[in-house]
C-alpha cells in the first residue's frame, strides 16, 4: 500500500512538472510575441526625437531616440509611425553586418512607441543614402567645432553606419562603413594615447583599438580606396609606443610600412607609408652609428635612399616625396635625424 502511494505521488509530481513546463512555455511564447517584428522597413532619425505611448503629442513620453539610432517601422498612421527603436545603446563594438538591433546578450531590447514622421529617413526615402551621408558629414563637421554638440562624433558615426546598413547597394556604402569605423578608431586612439601604457615599447602592452569594424571594411569592400585606408589604420596596433632607443622598433615599423606600400601600391596612404619607412631607416642610421655599427648604419642609409627614390618616381607631386628628399639630404650631410646633435 505504501509503495502504491509513493508511485501515485511520483506520478502526480511528474504531471505537475509537465503542466508547469507547458504553462511556462505558453508564457514565454506570449512574451516572445511582444518582441519586435523579425523584419520590417528600417529607418533612422536625423534629430533627437521623442517616443510616445500613442500617436499624440499629449500622450505619455516613453524615451528619446537619439540621432542615428536604428528603428524598425511597425505601422504608419498619418504623420505618425509606430516603431521599435534603440534609444541610448552605445554601439561601440559592432560592425556593419551586425543585426539591426544588436546581440541580445549585449544590448537591451528595443523600445516600442510612436514618433512623429518628420526628420525620419526610411529605406524607401528617395536619395536616402545621400541624405544620411550628408547629415553624417554635417555632424562630423560639428564634432570638430569646440562649440558643437557633445555627441556629434558619435551621431556622425551612427549615421555613416546606417548608410552601409540601410543602403548596402549604394555606391556610398563603402565610404559610410569606412568613416564609421574611422571615427570609432580615432576616438579609441585618442583614449589609448592618454593612458600611461601609451609609452610602453611593446605594442601588446598598450591599450589596443578595436579592429572589428576596420576588418569588416576589408572583408566587405576589398580592393577599394576604403579598404586601403582601413589597412593603413590597422598598422597603429602594431607600432611601438616609446622606442626607448631600441633599434628593433624602427626596424620592425619600417618593414610594416614598406610591406603596406607593396601590398597597396596605389592607395591613398601609400606615399605616407613610404615616407614613414624612409624616416625609420634614417633614424636607424643614427642609432647604429651611435652604437658603433658602421656597416648597419651604411645599410640603413642605402635603404633610405631607395625608399626616397620610390617616392620621387611614383609620388613626385606629394609633400612626402619632398620630405623624404630632405631626410636623405640630412643623413648624407651627417645631420642627425634622431637624438641630439653634438658639435
The whole-angstrom separation of Cα 242 and Cα 198 is 8
Burial class (CB in 10 A: 0-12, 13-18, 19+), 159: buried
Task: Give the dihedral sign, CA 134/215/238/265.
Answer: negative
Q: Quick check: is 211 in a domain? A: no
Q: Report, in angstroms and rounded to the nearest whole number, the Rg of the chain calculated over CA atoms.
A: 29
Q: Is residue 6 part of a domain?
A: no
Task: Pick the last residue of a domain from 146, 178, 202.
Answer: 202
User: Quick one: pLDDT at residue 198?
Assistant: 73
Q: Same structural domain for residues 53 and 128?
A: yes
- Angle, alpha carbons 324-185-107 (nearest 5°): 170
Residue 313 forms part of a structural domain = yes
- The C-alpha atoms of residue 254 and residue 285 are separated, in whole angstroms, by 13
267 shares a domain with 118: no
Q: How far apart are CA 60 and CA 51, in angstroms?
A: 9
How many other CB atoms sit within 10 Å of the CB of residue 223? 8
Indicate the number of domains in the chain: 2
Contact 48, 65 (CB under 8 A): yes
Distances (CA, A) of 272 to 231, 254, 268, 301, 305: 13, 12, 8, 19, 16
Which pLDDT value is given to residue 94?
42
Q: 254 with 280: CB under 8 angstroms?
A: yes
> Same structural domain for residues 249 and 327?
yes
Residues 100, 103, 106: CA angle, nearest 5 degrees? 130
> Is position 20 within any domain?
no
Residue 10 lies in a domain: no
Whether residue 183 sits in one domain with residue 61: yes
Cβ-proximal residues to 57 (8 Å cutoff; 6+ apart), any chain: 116
Task: Kindly state whether residues 316 and 189 are assigned to the same domain.
Answer: no
Q: Residue 51: which domain range?
A: 38-202
First to last CA, the chain: 110
Q: Model confidence over 64-123: pLDDT tens digits?
A: 999 999 899 999 999 999 999 875 444 444 443 343 333 334 455 678 999 999 999 999
**In this structure, are 153 and 266 located in the same domain?**
no
Mean pLDDT rounded to a whole number for the chain: 84
> In the prediction, which pLDDT does 108 show?
57
| 312 and 321 Cβ atoms separated by less than 8 Å | yes
Give pLDDT, residue 87: 59
pLDDT of residue 343: 42
Tell whether 335 is covered by a domain.
Answer: yes
pLDDT of residue 35: 41
Same domain, 183 and 47: yes
135 and 270 both lie in a single domain: no
Q: What is the pLDDT of residue 84?
A: 92
Q: Is residue 79 part of a domain?
A: yes
**pTM for the model:** 0.79
State the Cα–Cα distance between residues 145 and 123, nearest whole angstrom.
Answer: 31
The three three-digit cell numbers of residue 333, written as one number: 650631410
Mark whether 180 and 298 lie in a shared domain: no
151, 178, 202: which is the final residue of a domain?
202
Find all residues with CB under 8 Å of 300, minimum gap 6, and list them: 281, 282, 284, 285, 288
Are residues 252 and 170 part of one domain? no
Instruction: Give the 3-state secondary structure of 81-92.
Output: EEEEECCCCCCC
Answer yes or no: do 253 and 146 share one domain. no
Calculate ∠ Cα 218-210-259, nearest 5°. 50
The per-residue pLDDT for 104 is 33
Q: Residue 119 forms beta bridges with which residues?
A: none
pLDDT, tens digit (0-9, with 9 covering 90-100), for 242-269: 888 889 999 999 999 999 999 999 999 9
**CATH number of residue 155's parent domain:** 2.30.30.40
* CB < 8 Å & 24+ apart, contacts of 318-321: 318/271, 320/271, 320/272, 320/274, 320/275, 321/271
Is 292 part of any domain? Answer: yes
Enumerate residue ranges in the chain where pLDDT < 70. 1-39, 87-109, 339-343
Domain shared by 250 and 170, yes or no: no
pLDDT for 293 equals 94
Pick from 148, 140, 219: which is nearest to 184 by CA?
Answer: 140
> Are residues 198 and 241 in contact, defined by beta-carbon separation less than 8 angstroms?
yes
Amino acid at each position: 500500500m505504501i509503495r502504491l502511494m509513493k508511485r501515485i505521488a511520483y506520478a502526480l509530481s511528474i504531471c505537475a512538472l509537465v503542466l508547469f513546463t507547458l504553462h511556462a512555455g505558453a508564457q514565454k511564447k506570449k512574451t516572445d510575441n511582444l518582441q519586435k517584428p523579425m523584419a520590417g522597413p528600417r529607418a533612422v532619425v536625423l534629430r533627437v526625437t521623442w517616443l510616445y505611448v500613442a500617436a499624440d503629442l499629449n500622450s505619455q513620453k516613453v524615451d528619446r531616440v537619439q540621432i542615428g539610432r536604428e528603428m524598425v517601422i511597425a505601422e504608419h498612421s498619418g504623420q505618425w509611425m509606430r516603431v521599435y527603436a534603440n534609444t541610448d545603446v552605445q554601439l561601440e563594438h559592432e560592425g556593419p553586418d551586425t543585426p539591426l538591433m544588436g546581440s541580445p546578450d549585449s544590448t537591451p531590447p528595443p523600445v516600442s512607441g510612436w514618433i512623429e514622421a518628420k526628420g525620419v529617413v526610411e529605406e524607401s526615402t528617395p536619395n536616402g543614402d545621400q541624405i544620411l551621408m550628408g547629415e553624417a558629414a554635417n555632424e562630423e563637421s560639428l564634432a570638430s567645432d569646440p562649440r558643437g554638440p557633445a555627441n556629434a562624433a558619435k551621431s556622425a558615426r551612427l549615421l555613416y553606419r546606417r548608410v552601409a546598413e540601410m543602403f548596402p547597394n549604394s555606391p556610398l556604402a563603402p565610404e559610410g562603413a569606412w568613416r564609421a569605423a574611422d571615427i570609432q578608431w580615432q576616438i579609441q586612439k585618442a583614449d589609448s594615447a592618454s593612458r600611461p601604457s601609451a609609452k610602453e615599447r611593446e605594442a601588446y602592452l598598450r591599450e589596443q583599438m578595436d579592429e572589428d569594424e576596420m576588418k569588416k571594411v576589408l572583408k566587405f569592400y576589398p580592393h577599394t580606396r576604403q579598404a586601403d585606408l582601413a589597412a593603413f589604420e590597422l598598422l597603429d596596433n602594431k607600432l611601438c609606443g616609446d622606442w626607448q632607443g631600441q633599434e628593433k622598433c624602427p626596424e620592425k615599423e619600417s618593414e610594416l610600412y614598406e610591406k603596406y606600400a607593396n601590398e597597396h601600391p596605389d592607395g591613398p596612404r601609400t606615399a605616407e607609408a613610404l615616407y614613414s619607412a624612409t624616416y625609420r631607416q634614417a633614424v636607424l642610421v643614427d642609432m647604429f652609428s651611435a652604437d658603433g655599427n658602421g656597416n648597419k648604419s651604411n645599410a640603413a642609409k642605402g635603404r633610405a635612399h631607395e625608399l626616397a627614390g620610390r617616392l620621387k618616381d611614383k609620388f613626385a607631386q606629394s609633400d612626402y616625396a619632398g620630405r623624404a628628399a630632405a631626410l636623405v639630404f640630412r643623413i648624407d650631410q651627417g645631420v642627425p635625424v634622431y637624438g641630439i646633435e653634438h658639435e
